[in-house]
Amino acid sequence: MNVRVGDIIKLENNQFVAADLLLLSSSEPHGLCYIETAELDGETNMKVRQSVSVTSELGDPNNLAQFNGEVVCEPPNNKLDRFRGMLYWREKKYTLTNQNMLLRGCVLRNTEACYGLVIFAGPDTKLMQNSGRTKFKRTSIDRLMNTLVLWIFAFLVCMGIVLAVGNAVWEREVGTLFQHYLPWDPSVNGFLFSAVRTFWSYVIILNTVVPISLYVSVEVIRLGHSYFINWDQLMFCSKCNTAAEARTTTLSEELGQVEYIFSDKTGTLTQNIMSFKKCSINGHSYGEVADPLGPQPKRLDFTPFNLLADPDFCFYDDTLLESVKVGDSHTQEFFRLLSLCHTIMSEEKSEGELVYKAQSPDESALVTAARNFGFVFRSRTLGTITTTEMGRTVTYTLLAILDFNNARKRMSVIVRNPEGRIRLYCKGADTVLLQRLRPCKQDLINITSDHLNEYAADGLRTLALAYRDLTEEQWEMWSESHQCADKEEDLLSAAYEQIEQDMTLLGGTAIEDKLQEGVPETIALLSLANIKTWIVTGDKQETAVNIGYSCKMLTDDMTQVFIISGHSVQRVKQELRRAREQMIALSQTKDGEREEVVEGCGEVCFMKFKGAGKQSQCPPSNRMDNISGDFALIINGHSLAHALEADMEEEFITTACACKAVICCRVTPLQKAQVVELVKKYKRAVTLAIGDGANDVSMIKSAHIGVGISGQEGIQAVLASDYSFSQFRFLQRLLLDVPDQRSLEYPKLYEPGQFNLLFNKKEFFICIAQGIYTSVVLFFVPYAILANASQSNGEPLTDYQTFAVTTATALVIVVSVQISLDTGFWTIFNHVFVWGSLGCYFTIMFAVHSQTLFSSFPNHFHFVGSAQSTLLQPVVWLTIALATVICIVPVLAFRFLKLDLKPQLSDTIRHTQLMCEKKRRPAGGRLASTWRSAGSVSEGRLGARGGSRRSGYAFAHQEGFGELITSGKNMRLSSLALASFASRHSSSWIDTLRRKKHAHTPPSASGECTPALSHSSSVLGCSQEAPTEVETVQDSRMIPTTSTSVEASEDLREGAVSTGSPSVAEKTAQKE
């Protein structure tokens, strides 16, 4: 597709937005459309966008084709939450803001179709602006190799110089004497010139010491690795029919050195599916699976009970269904609350076929649960909610929606049931809600709160539910005060506060933000391998923390969890400092205990590995390196913006690296990359970033290794990644592979790679030293022996050709033996190649020394007959044997000593496994069992439910949707016809949406946004010229509720009550 700026493109439901679009019109009323931005910023809730109202009427393609407006806007930038522009059309100006924009990477949801004008395309899109620069990734081995090759080259030059000097000396002392037999070349007039020539000759002759072929070999090996990754069946996901894919062939060995993993949350750790798991009703907990190891309980079948049930809904505890069936009033009220208290829109395509359009997946899960348990939310109008309760259709009058916001952490609805009773239903965080209950029934409160804690400890997202009966007078009174409070946020929440009191607890719900398969296990395993996992997400703090708990990164028995959420540099600095001080203080007390424990157990291995820790490069606090204890750091995007400033970086990184778990929430894509860069810069560690969405692209690109989750909708991340597979858990296989089963069992085996113990400069020089030793032996042993040896017929073996064949054969044999020693696994290929190379050597040698070749090219193959005459001599074989023994025995002894005195973990494990196999005795695995028990201990600890109380509250909801509903903006015309209720501050819902959003974005990102807020009214007002007019209309509308509704019914064509007037005004203006 060739999308260009200025094109108008049509998007259909569930399609990806292909470029940054200005929303022109949509199939929904008022040019509204819904988008999911999980790909873009990781937030799970739905967002609403609205077109400028003039364009929203350009319904069909013909009209759109006539559209000839001009858009003037800011240059392309990476601010995802901000857009400023101006639409000039028909000699009028309309202000454009982010609310009119559909950004590339979003997915259109709950909207049949919409049309948009391309504002930015291709690399100019905000998504691409956020994705950072593509860098050529190279591994540290590549870099090390480059250094080493330079050194080797220097060594070569040195050798050349030494040999040239040697040549000069020799030519002066001896060569001159030899002139008689061997005159110098005519061009050579002295030993000095001969030396210069010798230098270059040696540089050329000895160029083989520069291991240029090493690059090729390494590349070939990596290519092989990447094929093995592609071929791995255990990294194949049958569900999405996706195999792992190594998209680059140059990074394989880096996989063995990863120290930090940066993981996205949505779609990577989680499946982005919410499911209703458990609930506590009137002190009774439902949904518990009795025995996790027992047979999988049967999934409940709701169809016989409820025709409207959602067939995809899963629930296993049939006692809850029984309770509903017998008509338990608490249970019924519980589900009634769930079916009423929400901001979902429903759509009934055909009878019984309900589709819920939810802003947050949590709500959808809750309402679906209610639906299956017989309380079916059918439809809503401005002032009513129609449900089917146990097969009976009931219509409630919706009196008010007390909208959700992050400070209140709850939402309520006030409804009047058909009998005329007014009731307030409230759902929200237990911490908030439990304080607002009627102080009786303390037992129930305690039990429910215990249940919620239990759920929270299981990593479920909890909400507490409560209701309050209101008398007509109370409602009237509050309604008035509420109206007065209008728009003033503080007053409004005070008004809400006022009525959300004295509630009666109904129970609590627990929703599972479904993790991908095996995520906690993978993270636990990786952390045993000393790999630190950081969650970096654009989602809210609560949801991120909740996921942190459910994937066992955070546990209740962590020493301390620090939350950094300051809004200013000073504040963040302070918070970080305090965290560090506490860590040091706490770890000192803890260290004392721990050392005793370790000594007591006598687990030598643990001590060893503790000692192996490398010195960090962070200068300010050496003490920070030795911090023990489980700390966690949670940092918000706006604080992170400060923490990433140049002078704070170090402070942040020391604090963060001392923590076991780090969660960064509400971060922008660019910040993700910055965090990765920061760790790369300060820790010099190999980093891996894993993500699925377009918002992870920058992070994936900047990490040493980028992993994309494939098999999902988006492919942006996959395209930018180096490796891709479909499940987070495959990460453990990718990192801890060869030999797979062993390294998965002993993740500690991963550590040598991180510390670069297997190939570093020291190892390199050991190899060089060994090489020099070997070459000395290989020259002087044959020299000393052959100088005095003869064939049996008296012909001496001193000749050059015999010596050459002997030395070369000895070399090949020594190298083969050395390779055999280095080979850990003798598969058929190893045999073929080791024996094959020996065979090849002899074959080629005999061929080159053959009569045939000699008779064709006598000057080139003048070794004729050397091979057979040399290799037939027993003394030659004695020489080779001696040289081999002298070369190999020290290596063998050295290795054995190292193995015996300083065994690597891998050696020990190999040893124990060997013993086990040999003796078939389980007792052989002393160390193995140590490790295994260590693993299980930590597993056990992870799973333990701590004593500390913690709220599992997390809700992917955004403020403003209550207003959206009460304003009726998103109602279809049919439902509006019944409208008899209007909200007071209806036109401002979208302002609220935006305002709330801004309040939560990092100041750095939205710093310039504040002035833009002054134009907020023009979003709906459309015309810059008449803001005052719009304001006055709004003001006038505020006074009598009834009159507005009348007006609305008169002007049904305009669709909505609240904005009816400005639309009319505008329409007339256009006509004029």
Answer for which of 308, 344, 785, 813 binds another protein (CB under 8 A) is 785
Calculate ∠ Cα 11-716-248, nearest 5°: 155
Q: Which is nearer to another protein, 138 or 197 (CB)?
A: 197
The first and second tokens of residue 758, run together, are: 């297997």
Q: Which is nearer to another protein, 15 or 201 (CB)?
A: 201
Span between the terminal Cα atoms of the chain, in Å:
40
Bridge partner list, 687: 260
CB of 882 to another protein, least distance (A): 6
Q: Which is nearer to another protein, 329 or 793 (CB)?
A: 793
Rounded to whole angstroms, how far apart are CA atoms 720 and 537? 18
Cα 1002–chain centre separation? 20
Phi, psi at residue 5, to the nearest 5°?
Answer: -60, 130
**Range 914-973, binding another protein (CB under 8 A):** 914
Answer for which of 307, 769, 784, 840 binds another protein (CB under 8 A) is 784
Q: Which is nearer to another protein, 882 or 1013 (CB)?
A: 882
Q: Which is nearer to another protein, 171 or 362 (CB)?
A: 171
Instruction: Supply the DSSP string of 773-784, one letter for each residue.
Output: HHHHHHHHHHHH
- Catalytic residue ranges: 264
Q: Which is nearer to another protein, 113 or 885 (CB)?
A: 885
Question: Which residue stretch of 56-64, 570-578, 863-871, 1043-1051 sits at the interface with another protein (rule: CB under 8 A)?
Answer: 863-871
- Non-local (6+) Cβ contacts of 678 within 8 A are 644, 649, 652, 653
Answer for which of 174, 204, 293, 1039 binds another protein (CB under 8 A) is 174
Q: Output 683-686 pairs: Cβ under 8 A, ≥24 positions apart.
A: 683/259, 683/260, 683/616, 683/617, 683/618, 683/653, 683/657, 684/617, 685/259, 685/260, 685/754, 686/140, 686/254, 686/257, 686/258, 686/259, 686/260, 686/754
Question: Which residue stretch of 212-220, 513-521, 853-861, 1042-1050 sits at the interface with another protein (rule: CB under 8 A)?
Answer: 853-861
Rounded to whole angstroms, how far apart are CA atoms 644 and 682? 12
Contact 752, 762 (CB under 8 A): no
Q: Which helix (H) or strand (E) holds 409?
A: none
**Range 570-629, binding another protein (CB under 8 A):** none
Answer for which of 34, 83, 115, 236 binds another protein (CB under 8 A) is 236
Rounded to whole angstroms, how far apart are CA atoms 377 and 381? 12
Q: Does 847 bind another protein (CB under 8 A)?
A: no
Tally the C-alpha atoms within 13 A of residue 783's C-alpha that lie toward its C-beta.
6
CB atoms under 10 Å from CB of 818, counted, come to 17
Q: Which helix (H) or strand (E) holds 14?
A: none
DSSP 76: P
Answer for which of 130, 668, 869, 966 binds another protein (CB under 8 A) is 869
Q: Which is nearer to another protein, 198 or 530 (CB)?
A: 198
Rounded to whole angstroms, how far apart are CA atoms 701 and 658? 25
Question: Which residue stretch of 171-179, 293-301, 454-462, 589-597 sits at the interface with another protein (rule: CB under 8 A)?
Answer: 171-179
Q: Which is nearer to another protein, 182 or 923 (CB)?
A: 182
CB of 750 to another protein, least distance (A): 18
The first and second tokens of residue 130, run together, are: 């956020």
Count, residues near another protein per rule CB under 8 A: 83
Q: Does 231 bind another protein (CB under 8 A)?
A: yes
Q: Which is nearer to another protein, 185 or 351 (CB)?
A: 185
Rounded to whole angstroms, how far apart are CA atoms 106 and 39? 6
Question: Which residue stretch of 144-152, 685-693, 822-830, 993-1001 sits at the interface with another protein (rule: CB under 8 A)?
Answer: 822-830
Binding mask 729-768 for another protein (x = CB under 8 A): ---------x-x----------------------------
Question: Which residue stretch of 33-41, 241-249, 339-347, 967-975 sits at the interface with another protein (rule: CB under 8 A)?
Answer: 241-249
**Range 94-153, binding another protein (CB under 8 A):** none
CB of 1019 to another protein, least distance (A): 47
Q: Which is nearer to another protein, 232 or 722 (CB)?
A: 232
CB of 851 to another protein, least distance (A): 5
CB of 579 to another protein, least distance (A): 45
**Range 876-915, binding another protein (CB under 8 A):** 878-879, 882, 885-886, 889-890, 892-893, 895-897, 899-901, 910-911, 914
**What is the length of the chain?**
1072
Binding mask 186-225 for another protein (x = CB under 8 A): x---------------------------------------
Tokens 């454009």 found at: 96
Contact 430, 508 (CB under 8 A): yes
Q: Which of 100, 57, 104 is nearest to 78 (CA)?
A: 104
CB of 792 to another protein, least distance (A): 6
**Range 1005-1034, binding another protein (CB under 8 A):** none
633-656 b/e with 16+ CB inside 10 Å = b?
bbbbbbbbbbbbeeebbbbbbbbb
Answer for which of 200, 826, 835, 842 binds another protein (CB under 8 A) is 826
CB of 232 to another protein, least distance (A): 6
Answer for which of 166, 190, 613, 824 binds another protein (CB under 8 A) is 824
Q: Which is nearer to another protein, 40 or 871 (CB)?
A: 871
Q: Which is nearer to another protein, 350 or 793 (CB)?
A: 793
Q: Which of 861, 887, 875 is nearest to 806 (CA)?
A: 875
Binding mask 789-808 for another protein (x = CB under 8 A): xxxxxxxxxxxxxxxx----
Question: Which residue stretch of 750-758, 811-819, 862-870, 961-969 sits at the interface with another protein (rule: CB under 8 A)?
Answer: 862-870
Rounded to whole angstroms, how far apart are CA atoms 405 and 427? 12
The first and second tokens of residue 1067, run together, are: 């329409």
CB of 241 to another protein, least distance (A): 5
Tally the C-alpha atoms within 13 A of residue 279's C-alpha that lie toward its C-beta.
29
Contact 1058, 969 (CB under 8 A): yes
Contact 235, 725 (CB under 8 A): yes
CB of 891 to another protein, least distance (A): 11
The first and second tokens of residue 511, run together, are: 């929703």
CB of 178 to another protein, least distance (A): 5
Answer for which of 485, 690, 786, 813 binds another protein (CB under 8 A) is 786
CB of 531 to another protein, least distance (A): 22
Contact 301, 549 (CB under 8 A): no
CB of 897 to another protein, least distance (A): 6
What angle, rounded to 10 degrees, do the helices at 318-325 and 329-340 form?
A: 100
DSSP 299: P
**Range 267-296, binding another protein (CB under 8 A):** none
**Range 427-446, binding another protein (CB under 8 A):** none
Rounded to whole angstroms, how far apart are CA atoms 64 and 116? 10
Q: Does 161 bind another protein (CB under 8 A)?
A: no
